[in-house]
Amino acid sequence: MTTPKDPQRIPRKPVVLAGLAGILAAIGAVYVIGVPGGNSPSGESCAGALASAAATKPLATGEVAAFLPAQKPLALAELGFKAPDGSPTTIDAFEGRTILVNLWATWCAPCRKEMPALDRLQAELGSDAFEVVAINLDRGGPDKPQAFLQEIGVSKLAYYSDETNRVFHDLRAKARATGLPTTILISPEGCEVGTMYGPAEWDSPEAKALIRASMAAAPTR
C-alpha cells in the first residue's frame, strides 16, 4: 500500500480546553464522519450496516480474506468528493444503494492493477441497487488518470475524484485509510459495512458473493 502526501497544514487557532471539555461532557457522544448531530457510529442510523456486516463475515475468504466487517459501523453520508461532472457530491447522494468506494491513484501500482477488476464488477453488478465508486486522488487534474483508464479499457466506472485528498485524510482520521488502495463497502443508509486495505480481484467469485450477501441483508427502503 502507498500513502498520499499530506497537504500543507494550516495552523490551528487556540482552543479553550475547559469550555470544550464542558461541551463534550454535556453532549456525551462520539462524533464520526458524516453523523448529523453527532450520533454514535453504531447507533440506530447504522443498524442496517451492522446486519450487512454480519452477513459478510463468513464470506471474507479468498480474494477478500482481508476484508474487515465493521463491528461499530461509521456513518459516512457526508464524506465529500467530486462527481463525474466536477461538482461537489457526498456519499449521501447514493442513498438507497450499496456502494463500493475505492480510493486510488495512478502513481499507486496496486491501484492500477485492480482497476480492470473493479470495472468488470461494475459491468456485472452495477444497477440502481449497487455502484462501484472509484475516487481518484491524483493532484494534477483529470487528464492523466482518465487517459490511463482509457488506455487499459476501463469504460464502466464513472470518474469520481478528489485532488485535495480530503476524502483520504477524513477517513484516515477515523482509522479507515492507512494507504492506497483502500476500499470500503457502504450500506444504502450511508454506513460502513466493512473495509479492505490493499488490492483485490473485486470481480472474483468471493468478492461478488460478499457484496451480494451485504445487499441481501440490507433493509429495504
In a domain, residue 153? The reply is yes
In a domain, residue 6? The reply is no
Phi, psi angle pair for 126, to nearest 5°: -60, 130
What percent of the chain has pLDDT above 90? 77
Q: So what's the pLDDT on residue 6?
A: 52
Query: What's the mean pLDDT when you consider all of the chain?
Result: 86
- Calculate mean pLDDT across residues 190-207: 98
Helix (H), strand (E), coil (C) string for the chain: CECCCCCCCCCCCCCCHHHHHHHHHHHCCCCCCCCHHHCCCCCHHHHHHHHHHHHHHHHCCHHHCCCEECCCCCECCCCEEECCCCCEEEHHHHCCCEEEEEEECCCCHHHHHHHHHHHHHHHHHCECCEEEEEEECCCCCCHHHHHHHHHCCCCCCCCEECCCCHHHHHHHHCCCCCCECEEEEECCCCEEEEEEECCCCCCCHHHHHHHHHHHHHCCCC
> With 60 as the cut, is the pLDDT of residue 33 above it?
no
Q: What is the CATH number of the domain that holds 163?
A: 3.40.30.10
Residue 168: give the domain boundaries.
48-217
User: pLDDT class for 52, splitting at 50, 70, 90?
Assistant: very high
In a domain, residue 203? The reply is yes
Report the number of distinct structural domains present in the chain: 1
In a domain, residue 172? The reply is yes
Q: How far is CA 119 from the centre of its chain?
A: 16
Q: So what's the pLDDT on residue 45?
A: 86
- Calculate mean pLDDT across residues 68-89: 97
Peptide bond just before 181 cis, omega within 30 deg: yes
In a domain, residue 28? The reply is no
